[in-house]
Structures are given as structure tokens and as C-alpha cells.
Amino acid sequence: MGLIQDEGALALSSRLKLLSERWYDQVDAAYREHGSGLQSRWFPLLRALQVQGPSTIGALARGLGLTHPAVSQLANRLVRDGWLLTAPGADRRERRLALSPKAEAELLKARPIWAAMRASVEARLAATGVDVLAVLAQLERGLDEDPFPADVARRCREASAGSAAVRLVSWSPDLQPHFYRLNAEWLSKYYRIEPFDHEVLSNPQKHIIDPGGTILFAILGDEVVGTCALMLDAPGVYELTKMAVTEAHQGLGLGRRLIEAAIDEFRRRDAQTLFLETNSKLQTAIALYRKVGFEQQPGIKPGSHYSRADIYMIWRDPAGEATR
């Protein structure tokens, strides 16, 4: 899974743009294969003129939901290349655009290609099992009814208040199901739950607490929203592990608060080495680890428990007291 896909809903607009670009390229390839000189990005403008006849740039922009400069820029190119004709409008300051004979002929020739394209797209949409066009319409209405900037501002205020209300607590046996839940949530999303994961998550008392480790939890109200563990690996050596924040509460700084609390506990124990293992696809998490003082090591950790781990990092005290 790529970096943009990893960001989920946060990267929706980027992902839709990438999908749009891929569709444009493939539609253009289909036109070329059938000897058509059309390009997919021209379709809205040319089709509008074909359906409603000659029109001004302003009217076309309003009808297509595009900006006046965008329509004007495309029109200039199509006029130059012989696809459009221009004439003065009723208002001499604005041009009326019309299809040229060349465009009329190409659009007529494109009808069977469009029919095949429509069938292909409809089949792909149906295969999703979702009414994608209805979902898009709902998203479009939502942007009109509840503008995105105002919604984000409101949620930021709520998140700020919520983040301040989060409290960190130490392990207690009644929190064990949340330890499993939070970690299983992200492991299932990106990888799979390996046997070692299942064993540790199912019995953290045995594998983390009793040997001398600790587990921290982030709690908001009555909801457990994050966790992080220090697991004893060898005398004086601890692994920072099982760090997870539920997706709905990511981006509030809870991961950093949990890690910094774990580092404070590591310092209190006067131990020598703190390390972690992760995977290179988790770039957001790796950036956070670097910010709090973890440095990537060459190669993977010898004797690693995790088949997914391809990054090995050791924490260095910013005060200069490097762990050994």
C-alpha cells in the first residue's frame, strides 16, 4: 500500500485526483486506438456545446461548474487547433463559442466509442457493490451544505479540548481487552497478526508485566483510545512496542504523549538501551520516532520476533546520554 493510501480519508482529494489522472490517460489511449483525435479533458466543454449549441464562456463555466479562466484557457487552445469557432456575443466583451465542422465530425465518430466507454464504466461501478455516483453526489452536496473549512475549524476546537482531557494510566488487568483491540486494529489493517503478536497481546501480564515491563494507556472519557508498552528484552534493554492509537483519535498527538511517557519510564529505570522495530511503509510513525530521538540502525535487529520488521531503531537521549 502506498503512502497516499496509508493516509486513508485524509488523502481523499489526492487519491481522487490520482484516480482521475489515470482515467484521463486511459480514456485518451482508447480514443487513440480508435483513430479519434479527441482528448478526455475536452469532453465537458465539447459535449456541452454539442448538446446546447453555441454559448458564451461565462455560461459554459457556470453550467460546467468550472472557473471562467479554466474554460477560457481550454477554449483558446481548441480554437487554435481548429475544434472551436468564435463569434462576438450579445455583449461585445464576451465571445460565443461553437463547434467547428472538424469537431462535429469527430464527435459524431465518437458516439460508438462513448457507448463502449459508458458500458465499461458502468460495469466497473456495479462491480464495487456501491452506488458510486450517488455517493459522489452526496459528497458534493455536503461541501455545499457544510463547507469543509468551517467543519475542520469546529473539529479542531473539539479535538483540542478532547486532547487536553486525555489521561494516561498504567496497566491494570481490566484493560487487557483494549490492549489487544487497539493493536489488532492496526495490525489487521497493514499486515496480519503474527503468532508472537497474538501470544503477547493475549497474555500481556505474562509477557510484559511480570518480566518487568510496563503498559500505558490513553483514555478519553470512558474510552481507551491508545496504548504503548515497554517490554524487557534483556537486563537493561527494553523494547518500545505495541504502540497503537485508534484511527478516530489519530492526529491529536496521543502517540507522541504515549511514547514520551514510555521514555520517561525507561529513564526512571536507569536502563541502558531502548529500541523498537517497525516497517518502512509506516512513514508517519517513523517520522514520529525520529522526532523523539530514535535513530535508524543498519540492517534489521538480530533475532527479531517479527517477520514484518525491516527497520531497527535505537533511542538516543537528546541530553547527550546515549543509550548503549
Greater confidence, 105 or 249? 105
Is 233 in the same domain as 181? yes
Predicted confidence at residue 164, as pLDDT, reads: 64
Residue 254: which CATH number? Answer: 3.40.630.30
Predicted confidence at residue 320, as pLDDT, reads: 60
Distance CA(232)–CA(204), nearest Å, equals 12
**Lowest-confidence region among 39-53, 95-109, 145-159:** 145-159
Is 124 in the same domain as 181? no
Greater confidence, 12 or 190? 12
Number of domains in the chain: 2
Residue 190 pLDDT greater than 90, yes or no: no
**Lowest-confidence region among 61-65, 143-147, 176-180, 206-210:** 143-147
Is 194 in the same domain as 300? yes
Is 171 in the same domain as 128? no
Strand order of the sheet with strand 214-220? Answer: 167-170, 214-220, 223-234, 237-245, 273-278, 311-315, 294-296
Burial of 255 (0-12, 13-18, 19+ CB in 10 A): buried
Residues 6+ positions from 88 with CB-CB distance below 8 Å: 95, 96
Q: What percent of the chain has pLDDT over 90?
A: 61
Report yes or no on 154 lying in a domain: no
Largest CA distance in the chain: 87
Bridge partners, residue 95, by sequence: 88
Is 174 in the same domain as 308? yes
SS3 166: coil
Is 289 in the same domain as 176? yes
CB environment 270-297: b (16+ within 10 A), e (fewer): ebebbbbbbeebbeebbebbeeebbeee
Q: What is the mean pLDDT of residues 290-317?
A: 89
Q: What percent of the chain has pLDDT over 70?
A: 92
Report yes or no on 159 lying in a domain: no
Is 255 in the same domain as 294? yes
pLDDT band with cut points at 50, 70 and 90 for residue 152: confident
Q: Which domain holds residue 190?
A: 165-315
Residue 20: which CATH number? Answer: 1.10.10.10
Predicted confidence at residue 1, as pLDDT, reads: 45
φ, ψ for residue 216, nearest 5 deg: -115, 150
Report yes or no on 217 lying in a domain: yes
Predicted confidence at residue 322, as pLDDT, reads: 46
SS3 of 123-139: the string is HHHHHCCCCHHHHHHHH
CB 79 within 8 A of CB 86: yes
Residue 314 pLDDT greater than 70, yes or no: yes
Report yes or no on 310 lying in a domain: yes
Greater confidence, 188 or 244? 244
**What is the pTM (predicted TM-score) of this model?**
0.56
Digit-coded pLDDT (tens) for 88-132? 766 667 789 999 999 999 999 999 999 999 999 999 999 999 999
Report yes or no on 324 lying in a domain: no
Is 206 in the same domain as 240? yes
Is 136 in the same domain as 171? no
